[in-house]
Amino acid sequence: MTALIALFWRDLRRAWGSGALWLPVVFFLLVATAFPFAVGPDAPLLARTGGGMMWVAALLAALLPIDRLVRPDREAGVLDQLAVRGFADEAVAAVKIAAHAIGFGLPLLVALLPAAALLAQDATRVQTLATGLAVAIPALASLAVLSAALTANLKGGSAIGGLLVLPLAVPMLIFGAGMLDPSGRGAMKLLGAASLLLTVIGPFAAGAALRGLRE
Amino acid sequence: MTELLRLDGVACIRGDRLVFEGLSLALGRGEALWLRGPNGAGKSSLIRLAAGLLRPAAGTVTRRERIALIDEAAALDTELPLRKALDFWARVDTVDGPAVTRAMDDMALASLAEVPVSMLSTGQRKRAAMARVIASCAPIWLLDEPANGMDDAAQARLVAGIAKHRANGGAVLLASHFALGISDLAEIDMGAFV
C-alpha cells in the first residue's frame, strides 16, 4: 500500500509539475471565454446554453492530457519496473485514475467559478454544475487513463484515444447536462450510475490495456 | 543450494517468430549465469520472461524471491535530481534511505545526487539504474546489457557490485555481449536454442 501511495504522489507531482494540469484547465477557461464571442452577448441565451457547453468543455479537457498519462511511463520503463515488483496492472491503473481525477478534477472545479461567471450562470446552476462535475470526474479520469493505455503504443495516439472513448462518455454528457433542466430530476441518479459504472470498470479495462503494452 | 529462479522448457515467440524453445535453467543463491549470443538470439526476451514481463509460449517460470531488473530504460524520472529519483523507487521497494546512499556510493554517484537525471550521460544513467537495483535489496538480479555506455571504472564497480551481491546470497542472470571479466560464471549460449 505504501508503494501505491508513493506512486500516487509521484503521478500527482508530475501532473502539477509538468504543466499537464494546467492544459485542461486553461482549455476549459478558453472555451468559456470564447463561447460568448461566438453566440453574442445575449445573457439569457448564454445562461440557457452555457451549462451544456461547460459539460462538453470539461469532457474534452479530461481527455486532453492523455498523451502524458501512460506513454512517458511506458517509454521510461516505469511500468515494467512496477510489473516486475508484482504490482497488478489494475492497481497501477487505479492509482493513475485517482491521481488524474485529483490532478485535473480539483482545479477544474475551481475553474468552474470564473467559467460560470463568463457564461452568465446563476448560483443554482453553478451548484448543480459543480455537483454534476464532481460526480463525473472519477469516470472522466477513468476514461482518460483507459484511452491513454490503449493508445500508448500508437503515434498520434491522443487523437485516436479521444475518438475511442468519447462515445463512452456521451451518457454522462446527457445526464450531466440533463441535471440543469428543472424537469430532469432523475438525471443526477443516472449520472451517478453511469459514473460509478465507468469508474469501477476503468481500472480493469485500463489494467488489461497496460498488460497488452508489454506483449 | 536454494533455488531462487527456475525456468523449465520455456519457449518464446515474438510476433510470428520463434525466438527460442526448450530452454531450462536454474539459479541458486550466490550463482551467476551469463546469457551470451548474437543480436536477436533472445537474450533480452529471456530476461523479460524471467522477470515476468513476457509470458512463455511453453514451459514454466518459477521465481522464489523478489526481482530487480536493468534493461535499456533507466526508469528514473528525468526531471528529478538523481537522489530523489532513486528515493522514489526506495519508497516503492520499502527500503530505507541509507540503502540508497550505500548503493550510490557503490556506483560512485554521490557527487551527482543533486544533478537532474535528464543531465546525466548514458553511462551515468546506467550506473544510476544499477544503483536502483542495488538499493532494492532484491535477491534476484536480472541484468540486460548493464555495462552499455559504462567506462572501465564503472564496469569495475558493476563487477564488484555483482560479486558483493553473490557473496550476500544473491543470484544474477546477466545478458551481455561479453562476460565483463566476472569469475566463476556459468553460461548459456542462446544460439543453441533457436
| Residue ranges of chain B with per-residue pLDDT less than 50 | none
pLDDT per residue as tens digits for the range B123-167: 999 999 999 999 999 999 999 998 888 888 999 999 999 999 999
C-alpha cell at A112: 468552474
* Angle at CA of residue B51, ends B48 and B57, nearest 5°: 60
Q: How many domains does chain A have?
A: 1
Helix or strand or coil: residue A153?
coil
Q: Between residues 3 and 62 of chain A, which touch chain B (CB distance below 8 Å)?
A: 3, 6-7, 10, 14, 17-18
Asked if the model's pLDDT at residue A215 lies above 80, the reply is no
Distance, C-alpha A83 to centroid of its chain: 25
* 8 Å CB contact of B79 and A18: yes
HSE (side-chain half, CA atoms, 13 Å) at B49: 29
Taking only the tens place, the pLDDT of each residue in A125-138 is 899 999 999 999 99
Q: The domain containing residue A169 runs over which residues? A: 2-214
How many Å is the Cα radius of gyration of chain B?
Answer: 16
| Interface test with chain B among A14, A79, A85, by most B beta carbons within 10 Å | A85
The half-sphere exposure of B29 on its side-chain side, counting CA atoms within 13 A, is: 7
Contact B78, B118 (CB under 8 A): yes
> From CA A53, how far away is CA A118, in angstroms rounded?
12
Q: Record the pTM.
A: 0.89
**Residue A155's pLDDT is what?**
75
- Which chain A residue shows the shortest CA-CA distance from B125? A76
Q: How far is the C-alpha of A139 from the C-alpha of A105, rounded, in Å?
A: 11
Q: Measured between beta carbons, which residues in chain A are less than 8 angstroms from residue B48?
A: 214
- Chain A CB contacts of B79 under 8 Å are 14, 17-18
* H or E segment to which residue B14 belongs: strand B3-14
**pLDDT tens, A2-35?**
888 999 999 988 887 766 667 888 888 999 999 9
* Nearest-neighbour CA in chain B from A127: distance (Å): 39
pLDDT band, residue A157 (cuts 50/70/90):
low
The span from the CA of B143 to the CA of B163, in Å, is 14
Handedness of CA B81, B87, B88, B90 (dihedral sign): positive
Asked if residues A58 and A29 have their Cβ atoms less than 8 Å apart, the reply is: no
The Cα–Cα gap between A82 and A166 comes to: 29
A89: nearest CA partner in chain B: B53
Q: What is the pLDDT of residue A169?
A: 87
Question: B54: which chain A residues are within 8 Å (Cβ-Cβ)?
Answer: 214-215
Taking an 8 Å cut-off on Cβ atoms, the answer to whether A76 and B79 are in contact is no
